[in-house]
Amino acid sequence: MCLGIPGRVMEVHADRGLTMGLVDFGGVRREVCLAYIADEVQPGDYALVHVGFAISRIDEAEARRTFEALRAMSQLDELEWLREVAARELQEMDRTAAP
Amino acid sequence: MKYLAEYRDGAIARALAAQIRRTATRRWVLMEVCGGQTHTIVRQGLDELLAGAVEMIHGPGCPVCVTPLEQIDKALHLAGRPDVIFTSFGDMLRVPGSECDLLQVRARGGDVRIVYSPLDALDLAVRHPDREIVFFAVGFETTAPANAMAVWRARELGITNFSMLISHVTVPPAMVALLSDPTNRVQGFLAAGHVCTVMGWTEYEPIAAGFRVPIVVTGFEPLDILEGIHLAVRQLEEGRHEVENQYARVVTRQGTVPARALVERVFQLVDRKWRGIGEIAGSGLALREEFAAFDAERRFALGTIEVAEPAACRAGAVLRGQLKPRQCPAFGTQCTPEHPLGAPMVSSEGACAAYYNYGRFRTAEPVEAS
C-alpha cells in the first residue's frame, strides 16, 4: 500500500489555493496534489506519487527504473485504480452531459 | 522455487547474495517492515536464496493487515447506513470483519466506493451534499500526508458532510514494541523506503542506538533489498548499530518537510491497537481536537466495541516472526486468499498471501528457533 508510482508532471496550476498538477503515469493522466513539493517542481519534472499526492521529486532515471520495477512486480495496483477511477469519471461526465 | 525467475538483473542479484553469504560468519535475523518488501522477498525467493546466512522475518508492514477488527466492524456498520457513501482504497474491501466484509455490505445495497485518493472522497462530498461521505483512512506514514490534506482541505472549503474513519499507524513505535518483547529475535531492520521518503529517518536514530540494532532504509526492488540486507549484515558483523540509507536515490534524512508538518498539524499520536499484535503505545494517529468534526467515530457516536479474532488465525505470531505462515495450521486449508481468516492472507502485501501466492504452501519447514 505504501508504494509510490513515478509520474511526469505535465502542468502545474492552483485549485482554490492548492497546488495541483496533471501527471502522466505511463500514458494514464490524472490530477495530483503537488502541494508538498510545490517549491521544487516544474512541468517536465518527475515525482513519486502516492494516493494522489506527490511525496518526492525524483530524477528521470529513477522514475523509469521504479516504473519498470513496479510493472515487473505486478505492483501497479494504484495505476489500476487510477484507470478505473478515470473510466468512472468519464462515465459520470457522460451522464451529466446527456440531455 | 525458481529464484529470481524472470528478474532482469538476476545475475547481479545472485552476485549480491553470494557477497552477503561471504560477509555473514553466522546466521543473522533481520526483519523488513514493509509489505512491498515482503512481496518482493517472497516472490523472488530472496529469503530462500540467503537461507542459512540470513533469516528474514516479515514484520507488520502491511497497513491493511494490522487494521484492527474493531475498525473493520465500524467500517461495515457505517457502510451499511443508508445516508452514507463509504469510500475506501480498494484493498480494504475484502478484509474480513467479524461478520462479513465491505464487498458483502455493498452486495446487500450499501453504497461502498473505491477511491484512488482521499481528495476523490472529498470531491464526492461536494457532489453529494445530501449524503454523508466517510473515507476509511488506513495506512502508514506514507499515506498520512494525503489524509491530513483531505481533512485540512475539507475545513478550508467548509465541507461539512465529510469525515474519516481512522486507523493510521506509525512504524517506529511498532519496532520499539517488537524489540522490547522478551521473545524478540530481530537483530536488524530494513526500514520502508517510501515511509522514510515522507518521514526521513531521524526517528530511527534513537532506536538503532538504544537497542543496538542496525536499521537500513531500503527500497523495494530485489537489488535494493539485497543491498539493504548486505549493509545490515555488515554492520552486525562489525558490531555497529547505525541508521544507514540504501535508498539514497529517493530518501533524505529530513524527509518531505511540508508533508511532515501538515501531518503533525492535523494529527496527534495516540495508542493504537494493531490486528494480531495488540495495543502499541503512541503508535497511532488520530485527528487533533480542532478537527474532531471530521472524525467519523465521533460524528456517528460509534463508541468502543470489543470483538475477538478467529481463534484459528495465528496472524499475531506470524507478524512477530514467531511463526512462518505455512506453520500455521489454518494456512492453505481453512485460510486462503479466497476465504481469508486473517488480514495477512487478504492483502497481496501480507506475508500469508505472499507465501500462498508464490507456492510456499506445499512443504512444512522446520521451526527456526534460535
| Cβ within 8 Å, pair B64-A1 | yes
| A56 closest CB neighbour out of B119, B156, B197 | B197
Which site among B62, B119, B253 would you substitute to test the A interface, given the most A Cβ atoms closer than 10 Å to its Cβ? B119
* ipTM value: 0.91
* A66: nearest CA partner in chain B: B221
| Cβ within 8 Å, pair B195-A2 | yes
| Cβ within 8 Å, pair A33-B120 | no
Which residues on neighbouring strands pair with residue A5, listed in sequence order?
A49
Write out pLDDT tens, residues B184-227.
999 999 999 999 999 999 999 999 999 999 999 999 999 999 99
Query: B36 in contact with A at a CB cutoff of 8 Å?
Result: yes
| Cβ within 8 Å, pair B194-A2 | yes
Write out pLDDT tens, residues B327-344.
999 999 999 988 888 878
Backbone angles phi, psi at B328, to 5 degrees: -75, 130
Strand order in the sheet with B215-218: B54-58, B28-32, B188-192, B215-218, B243-245
Query: B26 in contact with A at a CB cutoff of 8 Å?
Result: no
**Class of residue B288 by CB neighbours under 10 A (exposed 0-12, middle 13-18, buried 19+):** middle
Write out pLDDT tens, residues B163-189.
999 999 999 999 999 999 998 999 999
Query: B189 in contact with A at a CB cutoff of 8 Å?
Result: no
Task: Supply the pLDDT for residue A90.
Answer: 54
CB atoms closer than 10 angstroms to residue A52: 24
Average pLDDT value over all residues in chain B:
92
| Cβ within 8 Å, pair B258-A35 | yes
Write out pLDDT tens, residues A32-90.
999 999 999 999 999 999 999 999 999 999 999 888 888 777 666 666 666 666 566 55
| A85 closest CB neighbour out of B115, B139, B262 | B115
Strands A5-15, A46-50: parallel, antiparallel or unpaired by DSSP?
antiparallel
Cβ proximity of B169 and B140 under 8 Å: yes
A51 vs B contacts (CB less than 8 Å) = 89, 116-118, 139, 143, 146
Collapsed DSSP state (helix, strand, coil) of residue A99? coil
List all residues of chain B from 93 to 122 with a beta carbon under 8 Å from chain A: 114-120
| Cβ within 8 Å, pair A2-B36 | yes
Backbone angles phi, psi at B66, to 5 degrees: -100, 0
Write out pLDDT tens, residues B277-296.
889 999 999 999 999 999 99
Nearest Cα residue to B122 out of B75, B167, B92, B160: B160
